[in-house]
Structure 1
Amino acid sequence: MCNPRNYSDTPPTSKSTVEELHDPIPSLFRALTEVDGIKQLNWNIVSFPVVEELSHHENLVSFLDSVNQPQHQNVTVTQNGAHMVHGNDKEHMCTVVYFDDCMSIHQCKNSCASMGASKYRWFHNACCECVGPECIDYGSKMVKCMNCMV
């Protein structure tokens, strides 16, 4: 018999819920995230190389399946599983938005959809991350909401 896992030992920041959004608007997301330094928007924009996102990819099989899709023509998977990205570096940056304040999963989904995001990650401490169209997975697994670090 297995011992039941005690979920109270795991901090809420290590757990999250992810979902793809229907009808993303990549041009809107890019326009909103290219405007840097506007504090009135109450969010934090973070960009990092797609390779970094893939280094945390939990399911290599789903990534390998996605490589065959036309949108990922510049990604090569070597025999040892390393990922190499070719072409313009700006093209291969994963951009995510963290809202400063905590919100419900429903608010997170609606907020990310309204800014044209492709996906979202809602951390179980109520931090919301909107994931841009260039991201292959679900963005970063790091919680970076300014006022929601419980």
Structure 2
Amino acid sequence: MKPKVVNVRRWNPVEILIVAVCCCLIASVTGCNKALCASVVSKCLLQELCQCSMKGDDCPCCQDCTMCLGSLWEQCCSCVGLCSEHKGNRKLAARRSSVEDLPFPLQSLFQSLCELQGDAAVEWNIHTLPVSKELSQMSHMDHILLSTHSAFPSPPSVNLSAICTVMYFKPCMTMRRCQESCEVTGSSRYRWFHNGCCQCVGPDCYGYGNKDPLCQQCHPKGLPSVVEALAEGSKPIKDIR
């Protein structure tokens, strides 16, 4: 019987040098959890997915970098210098999010899915908030805008008493899965919180939906629960059941 041949990948000197430089950069960053982040950050830097600088709310590489770091974004973004400058306590940290427009919003599809709320097999919860409250959160700084966003209507042309409907998936998920899941629900935008909570913003909303992560089964250790997040707001958000 012939011995099994195992193919071992050989690293060329340039790749080894790049990895070494990445490790040195990680080691020099204050607040970076080197033990946890060294491997994944080195991989992302090697693929040139996290090599940009944030200028205000503009972050050209944050989408690719967030997808690459995955569930470790919250713990490792400081290693690549892409954490929000507006960091607060843990409850505020849970609110940091990435938001993006979706190409094909469909009100009828989104509304039909919302009406399935009472079904035990449904993996999402529906929440509503007044459009006036939604638009008042536009100045909330702990979100990253991905790609080019459509212009929002001016206040005189908006019915501020109208209701914005958003959908929260119960379990945590990656940003890529959040984007894909919201796209097939007919949502106009998705909002992925950096603790793994996914919110689909309905076509009847004018902005980015709700700024709080209210996914019922997504509570990473040290981050607030739905009850805590609601308690921080000025008024509870209506839960459609």
TM-score by length of 1: 0.73
The alpha-carbon deviation at position 66 of structure 1 amounts to 1.9
Distance 1:57 1:37 in 2: 31
Q: Is 1:130 the equivalent of 2:214? A: no
Distance 2:201 2:116 in 1: 16
Distance 1:137 1:112 in 2: 15
1:65-144 map, 5 Å: 66-67=153-154, 73-75=157-159, 85=160, 92-144=162-214
Give the counterpart of 1:56 among 116, 126, 137. 137
In structure 1, the residue matched to 2:120 is 39
The alpha-carbon deviation at position 39 of structure 1 amounts to 2.6
Q: CA RMSD in A?
A: 2.9
Greater share of residues in strand: 1
Query: Higher RCO, 1 or 2 (CA under 8 Å, sep at least 6)?
Result: 1
Give runs of ≥4 in structure 1 deviating > 6 Å.
none
Long gaps (5+) in structure 2: 1-29, 32-77, 141-148, 221-241
The alpha-carbon deviation at position 74 of structure 1 amounts to 4.3
Long gaps (5+) in structure 1: 76-84
Distance 1:106 1:28 in 2: 21
Secondary structure at the residue paired with 1:41?
coil
Larger radius of gyration: 2
Q: Deviations over 1:50-90 (max 9, x none)?
A: 1111222218xx9x96228xxx7344xxxxxxxxx3xxx5x
Q: What letter corresponds to residue 94 of structure 2 in structure 1?
A: T
The alpha-carbon deviation at position 25 of structure 1 amounts to 1.4
Greater share of residues in helix: 2
Q: Is the 8 A contact 1:15 1:124 kept in 2?
A: yes
Distance 1:144 1:94 in 2: 15
In structure 2, the residue matched to 1:78 is none
In structure 2, the residue matched to 1:80 is none
Report how many aligned residue pairs link the two structures.
Answer: 128
Distance 1:135 1:99 in 2: 18
Q: Is the 8 A contact 1:143 1:149 kept in 2?
A: no
In structure 1, the residue matched to 2:218 is 148
Q: Is the 8 A contact 2:97 2:191 kept in 1?
A: yes
The alpha-carbon deviation at position 37 of structure 1 amounts to 1.5
Distance 1:9 1:67 in 2: 30
TM-score by length of 2: 0.47
